[in-house]
């Protein structure tokens, strides 16, 4: 896997990540396809929004339908009919947040499935095996997502465990042309711990670096403060991925601090619940004021919801719990996010990103 840095505007940067299944233009937003599907969207529809890469998840796919079954059926790309790059999260966050009962050991995490209560062990080696079976272009190391808030001592022990698991993940990863492995910087909100984590991961040497343990309740101001001191610790010649972020303003602020890649369920989940992101701000399409509104959700948007239907119609669909309402709202939000990333890349390439960010905030 190769990362090519293209332009910079302040700390913001554009580039290209080259993988076995194509190129990813950065800064990039990855729609979340947790269980081999972006909810309420066909893969070709996701591609039409301009997305270069999707995110899948080790935890969910190992439980259902299983990585072994997907491998027998030709791998995740063929299984879900997506011929572009795929990044898979290692399952560490979901083991902590979804499993019914879990025990963290040096070997890995023993847990019970949230689906049927079955018992499983997820270790760095097993996570690498699953992601290899899936055929992920970008594999994430297996780590512990440190809870928030956490004391310095708790965060230190968690970070050190993640570093040991990072080395085991690297040792178990199968190197091959066009495929990469990302490390994950942990350390909660403590600068000294983030520095130890970043240095340790750099010594192990990964193809990209992720920043984990943020967007877990600390708030935007704290998140930006952590990014301010963490991104300078990361290699210039490798992509930087902020996991689980976020809202449009989070993305613009993180790009300004040198981040290249993002993922979040916000655009899809919000869409299914009636929130639409627009160039004038977010709106709740369920509001009574839109019941008679003949205008599109966003008159500059090219998605089907905006080019073919009115706010009044989408308001009716969503309030009636019609499936088409979820589809149109999700498509619109994903289009908004990809348009935002395109505008960000253009501003960076033109050297006007700081002006773009200031106008976006206002």
- Could you give the 3-state DSSP secondary structure of residue 29? strand
Which of these three, 264, 288, 310, is where a domain ends?
A: 264
Residue 210 located in a structural domain: yes
Helices marked H in 73-185: 76-80, 92-97, 124-134, 152-172
pLDDT tens digits, residue range 17-76? 999 999 999 999 999 999 999 999 999 999 999 999 999 999 999 999 999 999 999 999
Residues 123 and 252 in one domain: yes
Query: Exactly one of 89, 207, 250, 298 is catalytic; which is it?
Result: 89
Could you list the residue range(s) of the whole structural domain that residue 159 is in?
2-264
pLDDT tens digits, residue range 246-287? 999 999 999 999 999 999 999 999 999 999 999 999 999 999
CATH of the domain at 221: 3.20.20.105
89 catalytic residue (yes or no): yes
Residues 112 and 244 in one domain: yes
- Could you give the 3-state DSSP secondary structure of residue 12? strand
Q: Are 5 and 142 in contact (CB under 8 A)?
A: no
Nearest CA among 264, 348, 271, 357 for reference residue 314: 271
Residues 197 and 274 in one domain: no
How does the average pLDDT of the chain come out, rounded?
97
Which of these three, 264, 284, 305, is where a domain ends?
A: 264
pTM of the full structure: 0.97
Query: Exactly one of 137, 143, 263, 298 is catalytic; which is it?
Result: 263
Buried b (16+ CB within 10 A) or exposed e, 281-293: eebebeeeebeeb
Residues 275 and 135 in one domain: no
Q: Are 315 and 291 in contact (CB under 8 A)?
A: yes
Backbone φ and ψ for 350, nearest 5 degrees, come out as -85, -5
Residues 140 and 218 in one domain: yes
205 catalytic residue (yes or no): no
Which of these three, 206, 229, 264, is where a domain ends?
A: 264
Q: How many domains does the chain have?
A: 2
Q: Are 26 and 258 in contact (CB under 8 A)?
A: no
Residue 361 located in a structural domain: no
Residues 210 and 305 in one domain: no
């Amino acid at each position: 896997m190769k990362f090519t840095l293209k332009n910079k505007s302040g700390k913001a940067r554009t580039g290209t990540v080259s993988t076995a299944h194509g190129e990813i233009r950065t800064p990039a937003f990855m729609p979340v396809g947790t269980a081999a599907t972006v909810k309420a969207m066909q893969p070709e529809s996701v591609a039409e929004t301009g997305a270069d890469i999707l995110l899948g998840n080790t935890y969910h796919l190992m439980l259902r339908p299983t990585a072994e079954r997907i491998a027998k059926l030709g791998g995740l790309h063929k299984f879900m009919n997506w011929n572009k790059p795929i990044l898979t999260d290692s399952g560490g966050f979901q083991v902590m947040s979804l499993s019914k009962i879990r025990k963290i050991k040096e070997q890995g995490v023993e847990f019970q499935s949230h689906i049927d209560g079955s018992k499983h062990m997820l270790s760095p080696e097993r996570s690498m095996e699953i992601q290899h079976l899936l055929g992920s272009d970008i594999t994430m190391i297996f780590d512990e997502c440190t809870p928030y808030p956490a004391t310095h001592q708790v965060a230190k022990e968690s970070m050190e465990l993640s570093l040991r698991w990072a080395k085991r993940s690297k040792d178990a990863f199968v190197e091959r042309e066009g495929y990469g492995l990302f490390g994950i910087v942990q350390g909660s909100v403590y600068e000294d711990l983030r520095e130890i984590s970043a240095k340790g991961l750099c010594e192990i040497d990964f193809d990209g670096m992720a920043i984990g343990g943020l967007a877990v309740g600390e708030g935007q101001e704290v998140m930006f403060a952590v990014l301010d001191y963490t991104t300078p610790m990361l290699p210039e010649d490798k992509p930087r991925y902020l996991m689980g972020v976020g809202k449009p303003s989070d993305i613009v602020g993180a790009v300004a601090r040198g981040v290249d890649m993002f993922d979040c369920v916000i655009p899809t989940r919000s869409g299914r619940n009636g929130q639409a992101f627009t160039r004038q701000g977010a709106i709740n399409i369920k509001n009574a004021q839109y019941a008679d509104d003949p205008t599109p959700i966003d008159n500059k948007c090219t998605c089907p919801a905006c080019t073919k239907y009115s706010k009044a119609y989408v308001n009716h669909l969503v309030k009636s719990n019609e499936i088409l309402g979820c589809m149109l709202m999700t498509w619109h939000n994903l289009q908004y996010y990809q348009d935002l990333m395109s505008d960000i890349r253009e501003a960076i390439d033109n050297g006007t990103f700081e002006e773009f960010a200031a106008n976006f905030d206002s």
